[in-house]
């Protein structure tokens, strides 16, 4: 099953790299959420994607957005990866059952056992506002994501 623009985003609770539970519904009415689905910690394209996000974080904060990275890696892998990369946003472990949250969003690739590369913006109203799927070796254009987020931020509630 995959989500479409305008539908209510499936709620979830996953642990981040600090063992803290992060729930999508906690951001409802408060912040837009950028769900950054990526295949695996430590892989070259994912590492570049996170390096770009770390560098662009200030612009995402000014757009009233919470960035949540999501992959099938464990909390422990996320912890080491976040420390190495200087990542201060949440990396969520969609680990057990593997890919269950990504499956709800239609971005889990069961034949590979990994999450596909996608960015989904969830508005403060809890609805999917923007979706972009990428080929696994393609680095997402974060300026394009920021532009989409700007439109979500300025959309009438």
Catalytic residues: 46
The helix, strand and coil proportions of the chain, stated in percent and rounded to the nearest 5, come to: 35, 25, 40
d(CA 139, CA 44): 10
Tokens of 64: 């009233």
CA 126 to the chain's CA centroid: 15
């Amino acid at each position: 099953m995959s989500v479409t623009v305008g539908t209510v985003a499936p709620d979830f609770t996953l642990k981040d790299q600090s063992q803290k539970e992060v729930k999508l519904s906690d951001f409802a009415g408060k912040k837009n959420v950028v769900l950054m689905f990526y295949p695996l910690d430590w892989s070259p394209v994912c590492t570049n994607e996170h390096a770009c996000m770390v560098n662009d974080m200030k612009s995402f904060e000014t757009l009233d957005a919470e960035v949540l990275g999501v992959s099938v890696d464990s909390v422990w892998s996320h912890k080491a990866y976040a420390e190495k990369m200087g990542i201060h946003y949440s990396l969520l472990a969609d680990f057990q059952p593997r890919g269950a949250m990504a499956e709800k969003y239609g971005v889990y690739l069961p034949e590979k056992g990994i999450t596909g590369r996608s960015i989904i913006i969830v508005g403060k109203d809890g609805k999917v506002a923007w979706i972009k799927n990428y080929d696994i070796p393609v680095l997402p254009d974060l300026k394009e994501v920021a532009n989409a987020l700007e439109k979500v931020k300025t959309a009438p509630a």
